[in-house]
């Protein structure tokens, strides 16, 4: 059954109020009557606001216009407002409508005409409310889809981490750097997002390659092993393409092993024919590898890393993107050199891990490069209670 509309009659002339009540209730509406502006405002902003208000202009305590002004400025409720007045002057009419009244009726009114107007306005209000409800439902649905999408991304990243501890950390660091690079290149926000997703998932296809092969250096692989390994960008792209909203990321994944000067795989593309996201990821990946090598060798000097990176311009990497890294990203990054050894209680938000944090059985909790936030620190403390982290934690110490 359709809900009965609630109408508020705000009218101080008793005879008019009675007449309104009689014919509106006869038409099937539920009515409440008040005889001054203060009571009208209270009823409109109370716990059960009316759907429509017949608001007399001249009333004690507060005029209809003042009530209207207060209701509109509070913006909490949005009933239909029909102003009633004895004056038929154009200026008042314009003022009332410009303040947000929906209609204006001059007394004495014809009940049938007033009823027709009430019906029309309530029909419009119902349409408006339905539309609002549908918009709200759409927003909720959209938020749910987004949550599901990010959950799918997280799950796929976790698959990569279970394949190899360091791979997850590497992909995350590359994703952060790729995001910085592409933002500095002025790429559109959606493209930047797709590059970020692609970087996190680029090696998902390695799940189709035996672990001992994937760990080998490319040059140490046998012919058969190489054939298996070189298939991983295509396999990763195929998996990711099945997730709605990741088409572009899948394309970037497919080409993440192409070389700027040609000779890469799987399609031997070169130069600008390689999708921009793949070129960005290639620069970020190479930089991260060089930083890791330098770190392992105890030499964490960004200038040397940059020098090695510059050697790869044109052959493997897009020189324009290397320049963005050199001129814009690295100067803005506080690339630290020294480490600090800390115990769990000494950790603070904003510190960046310089080594992996693992549990006693070697399971990776947080990877090198992660920026510590409150939830991350809480996660470590929580894990430490269940399964102790036996080693100290290393963070970069800004100079
Ligand atoms: Fe790869």
Considering the domain boundaries, does residue 214 fall inside one? yes
Considering the domain boundaries, does residue 1 fall inside one? no
pLDDT score at 30: 95
pLDDT score at 164: 65
Pair (106, 188) in one structural domain: no
Contacts 24+ apart (CB under 8 A), 89-96: 92/57, 95/65, 96/57, 96/65, 96/68
User: What tens digit of pLDDT does each residue of 70-93 get?
Assistant: 988 887 878 999 999 887 777 888
Q: How far is the CA of 240 from the centre of ligand 1 (A)?
A: 14
Query: How far is 4 from 20, CA to CA, in rounded Å?
Result: 17
Q: How far is the CA of 110 from the centre of ligand 1 (A)?
A: 79
343: domain CATH number?
Answer: 3.90.105
Pair (310, 355) in one structural domain: no
Write out the two tokens for 54.
């017949």
The proportion of the chain whose per-residue pLDDT surpasses 90, expressed as a percent, equals: 42
Most confident option among 164-178, 265-279, 321-335, 369-383: 265-279
Pair (209, 346) in one structural domain: no
Q: How far is the CA of 260 from the centre of ligand 1 (A)?
A: 16
Q: How far is the CA of 297 from the centre of ligand 1 (A)?
A: 23
Query: How far is 359 from 382, CA to CA, in rounded Å?
Result: 12
Q: How far is the CA of 201 from the centre of ligand 1 (A)?
A: 9
Q: How far is the CA of 172 from the centre of ligand 1 (A)?
A: 13
- What is the arithmetic mean of pLDDT over 378-399? 76
Domain finish residue from 317, 335, 353? 335
Q: How far is the CA of 191 from the centre of ligand 1 (A)?
A: 20
Considering the domain boundaries, does residue 143 fall inside one? no
Considering the domain boundaries, does residue 376 fall inside one? yes
Residues spanned by the domain of 84:
6-135
Q: How far is the CA of 145 from the centre of ligand 1 (A)?
A: 29
Considering the domain boundaries, does residue 156 fall inside one? no
Pair (97, 207) in one structural domain: no
Q: How far is the CA of 256 from the centre of ligand 1 (A)?
A: 7
Q: How far is the CA of 163 from the centre of ligand 1 (A)?
A: 13
User: What tens digit of pLDDT does each residue of 223-244 get?
Assistant: 889 998 999 999 999 999 988 8
Considering the domain boundaries, does residue 141 fall inside one? no
Pair (399, 291) in one structural domain: no
Considering the domain boundaries, does residue 391 fall inside one? yes
Pair (129, 217) in one structural domain: no
Q: How far is the CA of 205 from the centre of ligand 1 (A)?
A: 8
Most confident option among 5-9, 131-135, 139-143, 392-396: 5-9
pLDDT score at 28: 92
pLDDT score at 336: 47
Q: How far is the CA of 177 from the centre of ligand 1 (A)?
A: 16
Q: How far is the CA of 363 from the centre of ligand 1 (A)?
A: 23
* Contacts of 44 by beta carbon, 8 Å cutoff, 6+ apart: 8, 50, 53, 67, 71, 77, 79
| Mean of the per-residue pLDDT values of the chain | 86
Q: How far is the CA of 65 from the centre of ligand 1 (A)?
A: 69
Considering the domain boundaries, does residue 158 fall inside one? no
Domain finish residue from 301, 335, 369? 335
Ranges 112-116, 198-202, 281-285, 392-396: which has the least confidence: 392-396
Q: How far is the CA of 361 from the centre of ligand 1 (A)?
A: 27
Q: How far is the CA of 367 from the centre of ligand 1 (A)?
A: 19
39: domain CATH number?
Answer: 3.40.50.2300
pLDDT score at 399: 40
Pair (83, 128) in one structural domain: yes
pLDDT score at 56: 93
Q: Examine the pLDDT at 392 and tell me if it is beyond 80.
A: no
Q: How far is the CA of 204 from the centre of ligand 1 (A)?
A: 8
- What is the arithmetic mean of pLDDT over 42-61? 92
pLDDT score at 219: 85
323: domain CATH number?
Answer: 1.10.3210.10
Pair (177, 292) in one structural domain: yes
- What is the arithmetic mean of pLDDT over 324-334? 78
Pair (129, 254) in one structural domain: no
pLDDT score at 197: 92
Q: How far is the CA of 374 from the centre of ligand 1 (A)?
A: 32
The proportion of the chain whose per-residue pLDDT surpasses 70, expressed as a percent, equals: 92
Q: How far is the CA of 371 from the centre of ligand 1 (A)?
A: 24
Look at residues 175, 193, 188, 177 and name the one whose alpha carbon lies nearest to residue 333. Answer: 177
Domain finish residue from 115, 135, 155? 135
pLDDT score at 337: 43
Q: How far is the CA of 39 from the centre of ligand 1 (A)?
A: 71
User: What tens digit of pLDDT does each residue of 92-151 get?
Assistant: 888 888 888 899 888 888 989 999 999 999 999 999 889 989 999 988 888 888 788 878
Q: What domain count does the chain have?
A: 3
Q: Examine the pLDDT at 338 and tell me if it is beyond 60.
A: no
Q: Quick check: pTM over 0.85? A: no
Pair (20, 109) in one structural domain: yes
User: What tens digit of pLDDT does each residue of 283-317 get?
Assistant: 999 999 888 888 777 765 666 677 778 888 878 99
Q: How far is the CA of 232 from the centre of ligand 1 (A)?
A: 7
Q: Examine the pLDDT at 367 and tell me if it is beyond 60.
A: yes
Q: How far is the CA of 333 from the centre of ligand 1 (A)?
A: 25
CA distance readout (Å), 226 to 171, 210, 222, 234:
22, 11, 6, 14
Write out the two tokens for 90.
């154009």
Pair (178, 314) in one structural domain: yes
pLDDT score at 1: 42
Pair (198, 302) in one structural domain: yes
Q: How far is the CA of 84 from the centre of ligand 1 (A)?
A: 74
């Amino acid at each position: 059954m359709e809900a009965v509309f609630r109408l508020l009659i705000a009218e101080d002339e008793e005879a008019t109020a009675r007449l309104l009540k009689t014919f509106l209730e006869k038409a099937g509406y539920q009515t409440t009557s008040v005889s001054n502006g203060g009571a009208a405002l209270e009823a409109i902003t109370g716990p059960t606001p009316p759907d429509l208000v017949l608001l007399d202009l001249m009333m004690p305590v507060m005029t209809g216009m003042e009530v209207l002004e207060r209701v509109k400025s509070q913006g909490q409720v949005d009933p239909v407002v029909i102003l009633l007045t004895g004056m038929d002057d154009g200026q008042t009419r314009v003022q009332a409508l410009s303040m947000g009244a929906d209609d204006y009726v001059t007394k004495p009114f014809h009940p049938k005409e007033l009823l027709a107007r009430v019906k029309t306005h309530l029909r419009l209000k119902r349409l408006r409310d339905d539309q609002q409800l549908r918009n709200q439902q759409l927003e909720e649905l959209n938020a749910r889809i987004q949550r599901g999408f990010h959950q799918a991304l997280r799950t796929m990243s976790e698959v990569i981490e279970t394949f190899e501890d360091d791979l997850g950390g590497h992909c995350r660091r590359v994703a952060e750097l790729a995001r910085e690079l592409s933002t500095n290149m002025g790429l559109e926000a959606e493209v930047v997002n797709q590059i970020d997703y692609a970087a996190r998932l680029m090696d998902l296809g390695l799940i189709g390659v035996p672990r001992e092969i994937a760990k080998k250096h490319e040059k140490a692989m046998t012919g058969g092993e190489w054939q298996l390994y070189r298939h991983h960008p295509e396999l990763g792209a195929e998996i990711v393409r099945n997730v709605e909203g990741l088409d572009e990321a899948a394309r970037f994944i497919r080409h993440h092993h192409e070389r700027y000067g040609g000779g890469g795989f799987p399609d031997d593309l070169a130069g600008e024919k390689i999708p921009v996201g793949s070129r960005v990821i290639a620069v970020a990946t190479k930089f991260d590898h060089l930083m890791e090598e330098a770190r392992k060798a105890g030499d964490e000097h960004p200038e040397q890393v940059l020098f090695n990176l510059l050697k790869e311009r044109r052959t493997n990497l897009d020189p324009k993107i290397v320049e963005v890294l050199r001129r814009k990203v690295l100067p803005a990054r506080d690339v630290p050199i020294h480490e600090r050894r800390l115990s769990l209680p000494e950790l603070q938000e904003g510190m960046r891990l310089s080594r992996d944090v693992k549990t006693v059985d070697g399971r990776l909790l947080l990877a090198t490069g992660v920026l510590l936030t409150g939830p991350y620190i809480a996660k470590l403390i929580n894990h430490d209670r269940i399964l102790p982290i036996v080693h100290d934690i290393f963070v970069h110490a800004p100079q």
